[in-house]
Structure 1
Amino acid sequence: MKGLPELDLDGLTHVLVLVAHPDDETLIAGGLLADLPRRVDVDVVVASDGEASHPSSPTHTRERLARLRRDEVAEAVQLIAPHARLHLLGLPDGFGARDDGLREWIARIVDAVVPLVDGARTLIVSTYAQDGHPDHEAVAGAASSVAWRTDARLVQAPIWLWQWRPDEVPWDSIHLRTLSERALGLKARALEAHVTQVLPLSDQPGDEALIPQELLDHFRGAEEHFIPVRPGETSPFEQLHGRQADPWEVRTSWYERRKRALTLALLPQERYAIALEIGCSIGALAADLADRCDRVVAVDESEAALATATEALAGHGSVDLVHAQLPEEWDRLERDWLHQDTGDGRPDLVVVSEVGYFMSPGRLAALADRIRESLSDAEHATVLACHWRHEIVGWPLRGDDVHAILDARLGLPRRSELVEDDVVLTVWSRHAATDRDET
């Protein structure tokens, strides 16, 4: 269709195609992959083997179909992008329609894909969130989570929407990729490689070709269609806190209790006016900070966690619990809780504990920038960060990475640091007290 913008690939060094079944990758992005220069890295991730494509076949078992379709996608990807890395996750075909375990299937996809992403230099291409096929929509949700966690760009592409609900195609959001003659030829050959989908398995009922001819004709066209999507995800902590009152055992484990004691010991000031705790969970550290601060503003994105914290902090009138997602809702936090307009409620202590690696690098950098701005006029300003140093499955940052980003962006001198095998604690401060008279 004329007049639609072309999909911009400038600055990309990596393309990751994330789809539900073998053949999806060729249908939505075969031409794009074929036209990419070899210097662009490519990963193709296929969630399931598509073994349920012909549930009534009298000639092919699910196991046989799975083997054939794995071979077909390997051949197709070799044709359109010989240098691509192919990843077959082996999830059960139909996972998107299953209420039991769907979250776990999506989590498995996210955990597998996050390590493949090269941050903002990656474009993720996935199936469409409103395609009408449960597996396609589940993969779209996983792709959105991956992009949210890694700062990757995200576009999605319909498949069955063209056939089932063509009047609902969001043309005002479509970006095109006009294909070269070479890419068109390679994509056509790759489509033919998916024999089990484009041709009948046999002449018996139940073995009919899966993809209708008119849909194949659409995907053999000179343009591919992509919908840029702003990534995001539901907080992964809401369900966790809903299932368990204390999912990290912060009140009972020695590691957690010792870590809080170390946190308090490293604070350079004896007392603070206002502490802002980002990621307060169930309020254990907020309660301890209340003994050292006139007021504590404790923020978390999980309402279930804050409900538990409300009960635990019933006797601490100096603690305000705030439901907010940071850094996105920082302006609301300052307006409603830190009183930016009057200037009398800015924090002089900010604590970022065990939350930084649950952000993308870009979101964490933005959070550090907002903290720096908020503390810019404080005579005594302290930021304390505390994080686990091991891998956080499904997220790109570890504790050391978090502290490196904070160190680069806070604009405060680093006062002290404690590094152990499991945990790192770092304090940045300005005009910290150095003797008894200054406290």
Structure 2
Amino acid sequence: MVSFDHRDPGTPEKDWSATFAGHPFADFESSCRALVVVAAHPDDETLGAAGLIAQTHAAGGSVTVVVATDGEGSHPDSPTRTPRELAAARRGELVAAVDALAPGARIVFLGIPDGGLRENTEILASGLSAAVHSTGSEPVDTLVVAPWTADGHRDHRIAGEVSEAVAAEAGARYAGYPIWFWHWARPGDLPRGDVRLLSLTDDARSTKRLAMRAHASQVEPLSSNEADSAVVGPRMLEHFDREFETFVLAATGAAEGGDGDSLGSDFFTDFYADRDDPWGFETRWYEERKRAVTVASLPRPRYRSALEVGCSTGALTQLLAARAERILGVDIAEKPLVRARERLDDVPSAAFARMDVPREWPTDEFDLVVLSEVGYYWSPADLDRALAYVDESLTPDGHLLACHWRHPVAEYPSNGDEVHARIRRSPGLTRLASHVEEDFVLEVFGRSGARSVARETGLLP
């Protein structure tokens, strides 16, 4: 996910205020009989959705708060509080905050380890599903809100993804709320078409301030020791004292050129059914030349660990394997993987796996990730998920190489130019190389601060 430090000054609220004042946003239609608020950590519910909770309760709707973790990792180096003590304190703070916002609201603590949502998605999904189905209201009258998937925090992303999936399965409405996004992002990063604002009454704002103060372990220092400093300091709190709360609607697949869902495994299984090499990887000079350009664009001669998403029959994998100590190729279809395994049978450092990316993703770290001719198969939402996984699994010195066909294909949700435009807007990436032809675009990215080949090899300071 995005690398940020809560101790940094962050983006000032005046920058966000100017953005919201200059660009009108649509209203958030929040009326519901049952509201289910998901918090990855105690205080998420208050920072992101306290006004929504208070106004739903005031209107007679039921409120359930599902708390995934106890937030025991908020002060990992604290000399005064153990993780167990922090967990107990944060549970008590959440109860007090929710009681101020919606007396009598149901609270469900799941007790998942802080930082461990990715490894415990089944627990989160099961607990949330039970909460949604036990509200006593029809799913169509139920609203589920959770941390926004693009918030820059791994637990927040997982909480949002699982919540969106559970809500869709149940037939409930869903929206995400940003928290840390306001700290590390810039106004230009806000997806305006998907954003909705909920105006808060004076009573709701007043109650929200009271609820935020209840989270004392987060908004106040635990002691004078630097390791005990407030996680949500005064500058950060300014983002949550607005006259409105911000919600991001679930992506529909209709954004920026993509007007459909991601292509699934059935499409590729059928495509390979009667053909061993449907794209001509083995026979076309175009493909052979493009592979040569791809490998020549790598900024380093060797990589420790490489991931190729959409490896197909392994033609590019074979070249990448010569540049990496180990490489993993993944593909959504099994048939091309059989050919890929045969091709690299004598390369012990190469491994292959059938994987439905971005619904699945390897757990390893990689200093090279290759997305070659796969991004336009995904809806905008799934492309964003894939890029979030790239950000999470890419080492600090790692590179992302993306290469895509530029011409439109009727059945694809997107095209190469749209895919690369979205990649270029990903926070934390610096473009190191760009090669554009009429037929394909190839770009290489590193983390913020990544250097050119000449600078990395000492030819330039």
Provide TM-score, normalisation by structure 1.
Answer: 0.51
Give structure 2 stretches of 5+ with no counterpart: 1-19, 133-137, 254-260, 267-331, 339-355, 357-461
> 1:154 maps to what in 2?
174
Q: CA RMSD in A?
A: 2.8
Give the AA of the match of 2:229.
E
Equivalent residue number for residue 42 of structure 1? 63
| C-alpha deviation, 1:5, in angstroms | 1.2
Amino acid at match of 1:109: L
Deviations 1:241-265 (A, max 9, x none): xxxxxxxxxxxxxxxxxxxxxxxxx
Aligned-pair distance for 1:231? 7.4
Which of the two has higher C-alpha Rg? 1
Pick from 219, 224, 232 the counterpart of residue 203 of structure 1. 224
The 5 A counterparts of 1:39-438 are: 39-96=60-117, 102=118, 104-117=119-132, 118-167=138-187, 168-230=189-251
- Per the alignment, in what secondary structure is the counterpart of residue 225 of structure 1? strand
The 2-side partners of 1:86 and 1:7 are apart by 24
Q: Distance in 2 between matches of 1:235 and 1:27?
A: 36
SS of structure 2 residue aligned to 1:162: helix
Distance 2:59 2:205 in 1: 17
Read off the aligned partner of 1:166 and give its amino acid letter.
R
Question: Partners in 2 of 1:84 and 1:234 — Cα distance?
Answer: 38
SS of residue in 2 equivalent to 1:66: helix
Q: Is the Cα contact below 8 Å between 1:154 and 1:230 reproduced in 2?
A: no
**1:6, distance to aligned residue in structure 2 (A):** 1.1
* Post-superposition CA distance 1:44-73 (Å, at most 9, x none): 011000000000100000000000000000
Count matched residues.
Answer: 239
Identical pairs, percent: 35
| Separation of aligned partners in 1, 2:91 and 2:265 | 35
SS in 2 for 1:16: strand
Equivalents in 2 of 1:87, 1:236: separation in Å? 35
Query: CA, structure 1 residues 150+171, in 2 after alignment: closer, same or farther (shift >3 Å)?
Result: same
Q: Where do 4+ consecutive residues of structure 1 move more than 2 Å?
A: 230-238, 302-305
- The one-letter code sitting in structure 1 at the alignment partner of 2:240 is F
Residue in structure 1 matched with residue 33 of structure 2 by the alignment:
13
Aligned equivalents of 1:78 and 1:46: distance in 2? 15
User: Residue type matched to 1:154 in 2?
Assistant: Y
CA displacement at 1:172 relative to structure 2? 2.9
Q: Deviations over 1:97-134 (max 9, x none)?
A: xxxxx3x5111111111122241211111101111100
- In the alignment, what sits opposite 1:363? none
Match of 2:51 in 1: 31
Partners of 2:114 and 2:262 lie apart in 1 by 24
Three-state SS of the structure 2 residue aligned to 1:192 is helix
Q: Give the deviation of 1:94 after TM superposition.
A: 0.7
